[in-house]
Amino acid sequence: MAMEGPGPGRSPFFYGPDGRLIQVDAALEAVRRGSPTVGLKTKDYAILASQVRPARPLLTPSEKIFVLDDHAGATGSGYVGDLMNLIEEARVQAQRHRLVYDTPMDILSLAKHIGRYFHSFTLYTVRPPGASIILTGADPLGIQLYQVEPGGTYFSGQAAAVGQEAEKALEVIIQGYKEDMSLEEGIELARKAIGAAAGEEISVEYGIVKKPEGTFEKRPAS
């Protein structure tokens, strides 16, 4: 639609005739082509999980779970280059917060910052990042989980899913979710969700943050 060409006095960017942001819709479409990625949390821990898939044989697949700071981590789906850029933005902001306040950055502030970063692209004739990001971490309010989308909106909750067949993955988590499930049960549920969305033999990389340590740790692909 963005390529239809400008009508008289109308830019091909910004809003479409139906009032939607064309570039943002296209970015969301790009996210839907990414590998299945989920996040889930209980009050004691949060798990990030993402399918890792080498682009061709004999190639090491790209990293999908990222440490942001000691207490926080992220994953996402969409264009990996865009995702890496978002990760770097979050990492820099987390360190900036430490410099100014001498405390680890809370996850809501991180989500808001990435939301604003996304949003800034919607105001100019530039391409918004084609990636959604799931943030997690431990802060004074507990274990946190946020999802941030290309339009700049963010959501928090017990579960998040992005990438291809995200609805299927989310459905599996909704069906299997228990408030008091153990960490291993949580990891199994995340794997099942990604399996349902991928529909093939899968390799999954995990990131975990749990009480009382509150440190974000990666668990290699298996």
Partner 1 sequence: MTTTVAISSKEGVVLASDKRASKGFFIGSKDVQKIYPLDKSIAVTIAGLVSDAEYLINLAKAERKLLALGRDFPLTVRETAKLIANLSYRALKAYQPYYAELLVAGVDADGPHVYSSDPSGSLIKEEFASSGSGSPLAYGVMESSYSKEASLEEIKTLAEKAVRAAMERDPGSGNGVVIVTIPLSGGQTVVSKGVN
- In the list 55, 99, 180, 220, the residue contacting partner 1 (rule: CB under 8 A) is 99
Enumerate residues 6+ apart whose C-beta is below 8 A from 192.
172, 176
Q: Which residues in 53-92 contact partner 1 (CB under 8 A)?
A: none
- With beta carbons less than 8 A apart as the criterion, state whether 17 and 169 touch: no
Q: How many CB atoms lie within 10 A of CB 134?
A: 30
- With beta carbons less than 8 A apart as the criterion, state whether 110 and 98 touch: no
127 binds partner 1 (CB under 8 A): no
8 binds partner 1 (CB under 8 A): no
d(CA 44, CA 158): 11
- With beta carbons less than 8 A apart as the criterion, state whether 107 and 74 touch: no
Q: How many residues bind partner 1 (CB under 8 A)?
A: 12
212 binds partner 1 (CB under 8 A): no
Write out the DSSP string of 140-169: TTEEEEEEE-TTS-EEESSEEEESTTHHHH
User: What minimum distance in Å lies between the beta carbon of 115 and partner 1?
Assistant: 11
- In the list 21, 67, 108, 196, the residue contacting partner 1 (rule: CB under 8 A) is 108
125 binds partner 1 (CB under 8 A): no
109 binds partner 1 (CB under 8 A): yes
Q: Which residue has the tokens 């989920």?
A: 38
Identify which range of 8-16, 58-66, 97-105, 119-127 contacts partner 1 by CB under 8 A: 97-105
Of residues 123 and 141, the one with the C-beta less far from partner 1: 141
103 binds partner 1 (CB under 8 A): yes
CA neighbours within 13 Å on the CB side: how many for 37?
30
Amino acid in position 48: L
Of residues 142 and 199, the one with the C-beta less far from partner 1: 142
Residues that bind partner 1 (CB under 8 A): 99-103, 106, 108-109, 112, 139-141
